[in-house]
Structure 1
Amino acid sequence: MWQILSEKDKKKYALLNALYRKYDPITIQSLSEVSHLSQRSVLNYLDELKVDLFPLSGEIFSSNEGMKLLLPDSIGMDYFQRKLLRESIGFQLLEYLFFQGEASCSELQEHFFLSSSSLERILKKIRKSLEPYHLKVSGSPLAVRGQEFFIRRFYTRYFFEAYSQDEWPFRNLDKENVHRLLKTHPPYCHEYSKFIKSQEILFQFAVSLTRAQKGHFHPVYPVSFFTEKKLPEIRQELRQSLTGFPLGALSLDTVLDELSFMKLQYTTEYYKERLQKDPAFQESTRELFRLIEETTDLFQLPPSKCWPFLIELYKLLQLHVKGKGLTVLPDYLFFRSRDFIIVTHHQLEYPFFYTYVTSYFKDILKSRGVNASEALLEELYYTLLCHSESLTNHLFKNFKSCKVLLYSHLSQNHAQAVRDVLIANFNSMIDVEIYTEAELTAKDLEKYQFDLLVSTTSVEIDIKNAVLYLHFHEKGYQISSIYKAISTVVDKKKADQMKRIKNHMDKKETLKEHPLTEATFTTHY
């Protein structure tokens, strides 16, 4: 999509991004190197950026050490990312076509003050950029054409990246009405509620309503018991509850169609019913269930409420089946969602888990004839993370923290006081449970799950777990010895886990031994 932007805008953004990422002053020469611009261009663009920053009370501070970007604490790079999209003639043109539906070349020339040759150059860039999204700008009059699913997907992401939560680009819709509709009649089931991104689903609904207003109706789900029986029930319930609701210019049937369609996308009951009665769906999700089962067992995760992330992974994989033979780009145009940073965190902090899961995705993609690009693997992993409950916390506890069992020979109150000291010093590194029996015995210890036993008195019984006597010095409890004991336990715990995982991966069955059938490729949304 970057080729839609003007060269000047791209260079200014590259320079601004280079400044933003540096906490310390950076020289003109270094700016030239990291932004891939000549020093003359750097100086020219810096002058323009200073003017752009003035309304924000921002500045580019110059000193003997170099240049430094100073912004108000409330402003981040996302402000400039939105500005980049909104000020691009190419994206203004795409937005115009979305709201108008279609337009002649002469209309576009007049509206954007373009010559015929300039318009043609912009259209050429747009057409090239839209190819991986399975869209094209064509026809007379011109319109964005392609499968309705891909059109809605593209524009939902565009509006999400180009507009902030305080802005409302849909002049044809009353924001309060649309927001109230979603709040009163959420298009997702309870299992999905905590994973829904409110701003994104608001824009998704607005895009859907706008398309429907222009006669472009949503894709059709496969016929099933759920769509034949349950969907009419959903529509009827919505129809009754929407009686008297101020819909404004929206027709009731349009709202019912779009809300019902979104309800199917985010309703676990629909997919559970399909799993019982749809062989193609069973085949398409078989390896995803295996992934959940194996990772839960191998990484000692608690039983998962797997349906939301299984459904989202399934939908993403089906998207690539839909685009079989072509490259389908990840679900962002320019900039990943802010929370994509958690993928980078997992790559660095939990490489064993990341490698295991992405290797599984590679096998699944290969069996479908899809190229497993790094971007797609990250998108799949991001989807799993966003729809998994407390996964990072569970991995941290299993691989980077120590479960401490604390025994006080004095009293429970003393044990609680010592626990507070440990928590204050080690915070998330440890999970402390208090031993509640009066006497410390090997038999009673079997009731507890722990990595390290910390005791306020000497322990003479023989147990397999590490034991630390917590002694007191003039300056308080001997924290350094506790830290050393915890580090030793965590290192051993991690090494044992890694050995177990490696042994499992060496024996791991691949999809070659269980190939997916052609039924995989015939399942629809």
Structure 2
Amino acid sequence: MEQLITTEMTRRILLLNLLYGADDWLTTEKISARLHCSTKTVLADCRYIEERWSDQLMIEVSKKSGIKLTISTFHSIHDIYVDIIKSSDSFTLMEAIFFHPNESSEEMASRVFLSSSSLYRLSRKLNNGLKERHLRIDSNPFVFSGEGERQIRYFFISYFIEVYGVHKWPFRFDKAALVQLAKKINLDFQLYLSDFRIIQLAFSIAVTLTRISQGFSTENEMKQEDCFETKLTQCQIDRYSKDLTALVEDIDFDPQADWQEDFCYTVFWWIFGKDDSAEQRTNEVTEQLIHEVNNELKTSIDDASKKKLVQIIQNLYCYHKIYPYKKHIIYSRFFYSGKSIKQNFILFSTRISKALTEFEEKEGLPWKTFYLNEVLHDFMLYWEDLPTQLFNNRGKVSIAVLSDLGKEHAEVMGTILKMTFLNNVSVTTQNASLFDPPKGKPVSQRDLYVSNHHVEYMSQEKVVVVEDILSLKNIVDLRKIIEQNQLFAYTSAKQKAAASEKR
């Protein structure tokens, strides 16, 4: 979908992703290699980004260190991505066609302030991007079409939640009433939706009612649906008829007679996306993920958490069966939460990633490719006390602290390490004073040596040189190294155990 924006803006989005995803400075050479452009272009793009969003971020450029991005504490990276989308002519046109379908080229050109030639050129560009989702824009009159009406609705549900998020609302329907209805449906069907997904369900309701009010129908698709009447009965639409009638009574709404059936067919994806094997398969996937985390990371799970996770995985499966495409256009809210989980819980995220890769290879459904970050997010959200368990159950990395400022300073460094990494480390400090430095390699072996000076008599692979008082960068670097040590120790222990079982 990057085709929907200019080449320059696509490169700037990738630059933004690189800088935001980095924990520290990135060299201009590394960035230019990743973006396939010159260092001069990288610096120009940095200036453009900082000038355009000066209230939201700051980009530092250093000849020595490279480039570093800092986001304002008053803003989210999400605000910048939304601004990029909203400022694009492509998305302006796409949204105009959604809210005002079947307009002539003259009417649409006037609405989006483009010439006729620019309008057709832009619509062709949009069609190149929409093709991967089997959608297209027909022109004069301008309208969306594709393999089915429901696919069009699902595309726009994803689009609107990405662009407007939880705080803004582009529809004429009452947002509070739709959110209340979404909450009611979530509770009735025990979907265990987070607040974000409840808002997403509200967007689903709004998009569906908008398309129905415009005269678009899923009638042909409903006729081809297996066991349609049985599934429709499961929706229990009578329970929501009063709410739906109240939503549309104050607006120009003249839909077909069976519009509430059409509504169910789109909104109740957990019913219409389920096939005979869905429940059994998603149960197996969830059980296997939980088993591997429990077995290998020494965690435990309560029945309520397990029930929620089974339902969440089933939700992902059923939604994918209906709409088997990436949900985001340029920005996923789950990408950055997944990134943080991978950084802070390497063992857990590695285990989940490996399991989802195996499921994907076995079934063909993109469990890892599409849903890794979302699954990591959901496990952290719905597994009671999982972060605490993962912290407490980590194997400890033994650290010896060395200082050329003396044993008192080494003790201070050791205290900071203990306070920062808690149960992840066991810390000892040098006993020798500055006037009695060690003559050679210490007898006691440690996984890691943290020192404020270069240590010649030790393997450099085990030594981390830090500031006299640990800086934020030192702590970030040490966290990665400690988790890598834990992962290595865990893998080695597992390999030894497997080898002993074969004997």
Partner of 2:121: 121
1:277-329 Cα shifts (integer Å, max 9, x gaps): xxxx3345554444445555555465632641352243255347xxxxxxx53
Residue 146 of structure 2 is aligned to residue 148 of structure 1: no
Quote the offset at 1:137 in angstroms.
1.0
Distance 1:139 1:204, change over 3 A: same
- Amino acid of the structure 1 residue aligned with 2:328: Y
Q: Distance in 1 between matches of 2:500 and 2:226?
A: 42
Once the two structures are superposed, the pairs formed by residues 330-345 of structure 1 within 5 Å of their partners are 330-338=326-334, 339-341=337-339, 344=342
Quote the offset at 1:187 in angstroms.
4.6
Partner of 2:173: 173
2:276 to 273, 276, 282: 282
Partner of 2:238: 236
Q: Distance in 1 between matches of 2:376 and 2:345?
A: 12
Residue 312 of structure 2 is aligned to residue 309 of structure 1: yes
Quote the offset at 1:496 in angstroms.
6.5
- Amino acid of the structure 1 residue aligned with 2:178: V
Moved more, 19-28 or 200-209: 19-28
- Amino acid of the structure 1 residue aligned with 2:368: L
Residue 195 of structure 2 is aligned to residue 203 of structure 1: no
Q: Distance in 2 between matches of 1:67 and 1:295?
A: 39
CA contact (8 A) 1:160 1:200 kept: yes
SS at match of 1:193: coil
Partner of 1:278: none
SS at match of 2:144: strand
Q: Distance in 2 between matches of 1:316 and 1:248?
A: 31
1:401 to 379, 393, 396: 393
CA contact (8 A) 1:287 1:364 kept: no
Quote the offset at 1:103 in angstroms.
2.5
Q: Distance in 2 between matches of 1:262 and 1:397?
A: 39
Once the two structures are superposed, the pairs formed by residues 110-509 of structure 1 within 5 Å of their partners are 110-146=110-146, 147-170=148-171, 172-183=172-183, 185-187=184-186, 189=188, 191-195=190-194, 197-217=197-217, 220=222, 222-223=226-227, 226-227=230-231, 229-231=233-235, 234-239=236-241, 247-249=249-251, 257=261, 260-261=264-265, 264-266=268-270, 281-283=275-277, 286-295=280-289, 299-300=294-295, 302=301, 304-305=306-307, 307-316=310-319, 318-319=321-322, 328-338=324-334, 339-341=337-339, 344=342, 348-350=346-348, 351-365=350-364, 377-382=368-373, 384-385=375-376, 390=382, 397=389, 401=393
Which stretches in structure 1 are left out of the alignment for 5+ residues? Answer: 275-280, 321-327, 404-422, 431-487, 507-525
CA contact (8 A) 2:345 2:390 kept: no
Quote the offset at 1:82 in angstroms.
0.7
- Amino acid of the structure 1 residue aligned with 2:276: Q
SS at match of 1:282: coil
CA contact (8 A) 1:209 1:254 kept: no
Identity of aligned residues (%): 19
TM-score when scaled to structure 1? 0.61
Quote the offset at 1:85 in angstroms.
0.8
Q: Distance in 2 between matches of 1:64 and 1:282?
A: 60
Quote the offset at 1:154 in angstroms.
1.0
- Amino acid of the structure 2 residue aligned with 1:149: R
Distance 1:37 1:309, change over 3 A: same
CA contact (8 A) 1:330 1:379 kept: yes
Q: Distance in 1 between matches of 2:18 and 2:487?
A: 38
Quote the offset at 1:44 in angstroms.
4.3
Quote the offset at 1:21 in angstroms.
4.8
- Amino acid of the structure 2 residue aligned with 1:330: K
Distance 1:36 1:294, change over 3 A: closer
Q: How many residues align?
A: 401
Q: Distance in 2 between matches of 1:74 and 1:45?
A: 23
1:440-461 Cα shifts (integer Å, max 9, x gaps): xxxxxxxxxxxxxxxxxxxxxx
- Amino acid of the structure 2 residue aligned with 1:318: K
Distance 1:176 1:32, change over 3 A: same
Quote the offset at 1:203 in angstroms.
1.8
Quote the offset at 1:129 in angstroms.
0.9
Quote the offset at 1:173 in angstroms.
2.2
Distance 1:52 1:287, change over 3 A: closer
Distance 1:128 1:312, change over 3 A: same
Quote the offset at 1:2 in angstroms.
0.8
Quote the offset at 1:393 in angstroms.
5.8
Q: How large is the RMSD of aligned CA atoms in angstroms?
A: 4.6
SS at match of 1:192: coil
1:226-261 Cα shifts (integer Å, max 9, x gaps): 446454xx3333335678778532769899557655
Q: Distance in 2 between matches of 1:109 and 1:240?
A: 40
CA contact (8 A) 1:313 1:383 kept: no
Higher relative contact order (CA 8 A, sep 6+): 1
- Amino acid of the structure 1 residue aligned with 2:393: S
Partner of 2:412: none
TM-score when scaled to structure 2? 0.64
Partner of 1:100: 100
Which stretches in structure 2 are left out of the alignment for 5+ residues? Answer: 396-417, 426-484
SS at match of 2:325: coil
SS at match of 2:53: helix
SS at match of 2:161: helix
CA contact (8 A) 2:204 2:267 kept: no
Distance 1:393 1:134, change over 3 A: farther
Q: Distance in 1 between matches of 2:199 and 2:24?
A: 34
Distance 1:222 1:307, change over 3 A: farther
- Amino acid of the structure 2 residue aligned with 1:165: V
Partner of 1:325: none
Moved more, 86-95 or 213-222: 213-222
CA contact (8 A) 1:212 1:254 kept: no
Distance 1:106 1:381, change over 3 A: same
SS at match of 1:136: strand
CA contact (8 A) 2:59 2:67 kept: yes
